[in-house]
Amino acid sequence: MILKALYISLVFLLLVHIASAAPVNDYKITYTINVNEGGNAVWYVEYRTPLVSTEDFDSFDNYTKQLNPVHLNDFKELMQKSVSEAANATSRKMAAGGFTGDAKVESAPTGTFGVVRYSFTWVNFAKLDPDKNLNIGDVFIGGLYLSKDNTLIIQYPSGYTIEQVEPQPDQVRDGMVWYGLRSFKAGEPAVILSMPSSSWMPPVIAVSVIFIIAAFVYKRKARGKNTVIDAAIEPVAEALTEEAMMDVRERIIKLLNESGGSLYQSEIGKKLDIPRSTVSAALNQLHDKNVIQKIKKGRENLIRLVQS
Mean pLDDT of all residues in 221-234: 41
In angstroms, rounded to a whole number, what is the distance separating the alpha carbons of residues 73 and 162?
35
Under the banding of pLDDT at 50, 70 and 90, the label for residue 233 is: very low
Omega prior to 189 cis, within 30 of 0: yes
CATH number of 235-308: 1.10.10.10
CATH number of 4-194: 2.60.40
Mean pLDDT of all residues in 172-180: 91
pLDDT of residue 19: 42
**If we measure between CA atoms, which residue out of 237, 235, 232 comes closest to residue 216?**
232
pLDDT of residue 12: 42
Which position has the higher pLDDT, 239 or 112?
112
- CB distance 103 to 115 below 8 Å: yes
pLDDT of residue 219: 53
Omega prior to 72 cis, within 30 of 0: no
- CB distance 156 to 127 below 8 Å: no
Under the banding of pLDDT at 50, 70 and 90, the label for residue 225 is: very low
pLDDT of residue 213: 56
* pLDDT tens digits, 191-208: 999 988 654 444 444 445
In angstroms, rounded to a whole number, what is the distance separating the alpha carbons of residues 218 and 73?
64
Q: Which helix (H) or strand (E) holds 106?
A: strand 95-108
* pLDDT tens digits, 50-96: 999 999 999 999 999 999 888 999 999 999 999 999 999 999 999 99
pLDDT of residue 240: 66
pLDDT over 70 (residue 238): no
| % the chain with pLDDT above 90 | 48
φ, ψ of residue 223 to 5 degrees: the values are: -85, -5
pLDDT of residue 93: 95
Mean pLDDT of all residues in 108-112: 90
**Which residues lie below 8 Å from residue 30, measured CB to CB, with a gap of 6+?**
44, 45, 46, 47, 150, 151, 152, 153
In angstroms, rounded to a whole number, what is the distance separating the alpha carbons of residues 307 and 287?
13
pLDDT over 70 (residue 9): no
Mean pLDDT of all residues in 169-175: 91
Under the banding of pLDDT at 50, 70 and 90, the label for residue 279 is: confident
pLDDT over 90 (residue 133): yes
CA 139 remoteness from chain centre? 19
Query: Greatest CA separation found in the chain?
Result: 74
Q: Identify the sign of the CA torsion 94, 177, 76, 148.
A: negative
pLDDT over 60 (residue 21): no
pLDDT of residue 242: 75
In whole angstroms, how large is the CA radius of gyration of the chain? 23
- CB distance 106 to 113 below 8 Å: yes
Under the banding of pLDDT at 50, 70 and 90, the label for residue 107 is: very high
Q: What is the 3-state secondary structure (H, E, C) of 241-292?
A: CHHHHHHHHHHHHHHHHHCCCEEEHHHHHHHHCCCHHHHHHHHHHHHHCCCE
Mean pLDDT of all residues in 7-26: 41
| % the chain with pLDDT above 70 | 77
**Which residues lie below 8 Å from residue 294, measured CB to CB, with a gap of 6+?**
171, 265, 283, 287, 301, 302, 303
Under the banding of pLDDT at 50, 70 and 90, the label for residue 42 is: very high
Query: To the nearest whole number, what is the mean pLDDT of the chain?
Result: 80
In angstroms, rounded to a whole number, what is the distance separating the alpha carbons of residues 108 and 247?
16
pLDDT over 80 (residue 130): yes
Under the banding of pLDDT at 50, 70 and 90, the label for residue 278 is: confident
